[in-house]
Amino acid sequence: MTFTTLLTPKETQIAIFAIKDYIEENLCKELNLIRVTYPLIVDAESGIN
């Protein structure tokens, strides 16, 4: 039994992005939330950035 993909890697990436965007948009709508984007600010000594 072999596995064959139906989508190219690029098409897969586009499909995943579309699904994530759809879920996020509709979840926000159902929960009456607003998406907020902000820069991540961390202490230089934390080692995270």
Give dist(CA 32, CA 48) in Å, integer. 32
Q: What percent of the chain has pLDDT over 70?
A: 96
Question: pLDDT at position 31, please?
Answer: 94
The structure tokens listed for 28 are 């926000």
Name which of 20-24, 37-41, 45-49 the model is least confident about: 45-49
Would you kindly state where each structural domain of the chain is located, as residue ranges? 8-35
At residue 40, φ and ψ (nearest 5 deg) are -85, 120
26 exposed, middle or buried (CB, 10 Å; 0-12, 13-18, 19+)?
A: exposed
Question: pLDDT at position 49, please?
Answer: 59
pTM, to two decimals: 0.58
Question: pLDDT at position 20, please?
Answer: 94
Give dist(CA 11, CA 15) in Å, integer. 6
